[in-house]
Amino acid sequence: MSFFKRLFGIKDKEEQGSVPKPYVEEKKKSTSIDDLLKEEKVFQYEAPITHINKEATKETIAEEIKTAGNPDDWDIYNANGKEGFKDENGIIVIKANFDKVNYFENGLAIVQVNDKKGLINSRGEYVMKPEYSYIFSATEGLFAFEKEEMYGFANRDGTIAIKPQYFYAGGFYEGVSAVSEGGKDYYITKDNKKAFNVDFEDAGDFSEGLASAVPYDMKEGENKTGFIDRTGKFVIKPQFDFTGSFRNGFAPVCKNDQWAFIDKTGKPVCGYIYADAEDFYCGRAAVKQEKKGSWGYADTTGKLVIPCQFDYSSEFDEQKGSAYVFIKGKCYTLYPDGRKETV
């Protein structure tokens, strides 16, 4: 998905998240129109042909299938206050029948009808009917959802993997998900078993084998955060007001409204010198030197290597090796060495 879609297209923060690789393997494309019409999975994603009218010929249908492309690249369009999808050529592939839609991610899109969320495939067919308060983007093949104020998980085909039973549930990361029940947070596996017999006041997502957490038995008013391993044991003692996640071997942490970076032993690699700090990607983390100031980037030693000058900065894409930044409304592609190109 493009940076612009991630920046402007996703409506609710809680619907974001990482997604697994496409679940249908790409096959060799047929040159026969009849084969195109017979094969359901000739391409990487199902062909979105439900919008075609009855007068369409085999030739025009086949052309639609070939040109519709990857649903993850489709654009959202608005008609009469409703939203639908157009392909990269501007052809309507799913009519504007929804109140709101999110961009497709790996062939599925979260949609909203009458304040309820559902999930559709690239044919515009419901995988999950619009009867949920929230549906989160899939993580490790499962969609967390909220229904009647309880959280559960659904598979990509819409079947319920874990029935709604939790006060809150995040996504699955490294095989486990943080959930909340009975005033406590703990971790579950994908078969809905407790990952380890430890409870927390607050539990974050695992990344690089560690997760931020607040002990359940901490005194009221303390609420300090540390990091646990996959057994639930604190390997970095609770001492921080806020934390990010470990990426590239380091994590941002906050004390007294100032941010620094630590390694996996808990040792700071720099002083608490930043007003704000994000996670590392490609060895670079977005930072601010002043609360209302501009963004720049630090390296894994905590040194500011790209000066604070950006009104907005994205994380670095580790596949592309670049980030997107804005200066006075103008967008640039930024590289780890500080070079930038106009988009």
| Mean pLDDT along residues 7-22 | 38
Q: Which domain holds residue 315?
A: 251-343
Q: Would 133 be classed as within a structural domain?
A: yes
Q: Would 161 be classed as within a structural domain?
A: no
Indicate whether 332 pLDDT > 50.
Answer: yes
The whole-number pLDDT of residue 105 equals 95
Please say which residue of 123, 138, 153 terminates a domain: 138
Phi, psi angles (nearest 5°) of residue 6: -65, -35
The whole-number pLDDT of residue 222 equals 76
Tokens found for residue 191: 């078969």
Please say which residue of 70, 105, 138 terminates a domain: 138
Cα-based angle 179, 184, 186 (whole degrees, multiple of 5): 40
Q: Would 317 be classed as within a structural domain?
A: yes
* Structural domain count, the chain: 2
Prediction pTM value = 0.78
> pLDDT class for 312, splitting at 50, 70, 90?
very high
Distance CA 318, CA 325 (A): 16
The whole-number pLDDT of residue 223 equals 87
Q: Would 188 be classed as within a structural domain?
A: no
The whole-number pLDDT of residue 69 equals 81
Q: Which residues contact 142 (CB under 8 A, 6 or more apart)?
A: 153, 154, 155, 161, 162, 171, 172, 190
Stretch among 32-41, 75-84, 277-286 having the lowest mean pLDDT = 32-41
Distance CA 136, CA 280 (A): 24
Residues 9 and 133 grouped into a single domain: yes
Residues shown for the chain = 343
More confident residue, 152 or 4: 152
Please say which residue of 105, 138, 171 terminates a domain: 138
pLDDT digits (tens, 9 = 90+) for 155-193: 999 999 999 999 999 999 999 999 999 999 999 999 999
Residues 128 and 259 grouped into a single domain: no
Cα-Cα end-to-end distance for the chain: 16
The whole-number pLDDT of residue 210 equals 98
Q: Would 3 be classed as within a structural domain?
A: yes
Distance CA 293, CA 252 (A): 18
pLDDT digits (tens, 9 = 90+) for 35-54: 444 443 323 333 343 343 44
How much of the chain exceeds pLDDT 90, in percent?
A: 78
Sheet of strand 82-86, all strands in order from the earlier edge strand to the far edge: 75-79, 82-86, 92-98
| Mean pLDDT along residues 15-20 | 35
Question: How far lies 182's CA from each of 12, 148, 179, 199, 315, in Å?
Answer: 26, 17, 10, 11, 35
Distance CA 118, CA 212 (A): 31
> Which residue, 216, 225, 223, is CA-closest to 197?
216
Q: Would 157 be classed as within a structural domain?
A: no
Q: Would 319 be classed as within a structural domain?
A: yes
Q: Would 181 be classed as within a structural domain?
A: no
Residues 127 and 6 grouped into a single domain: yes
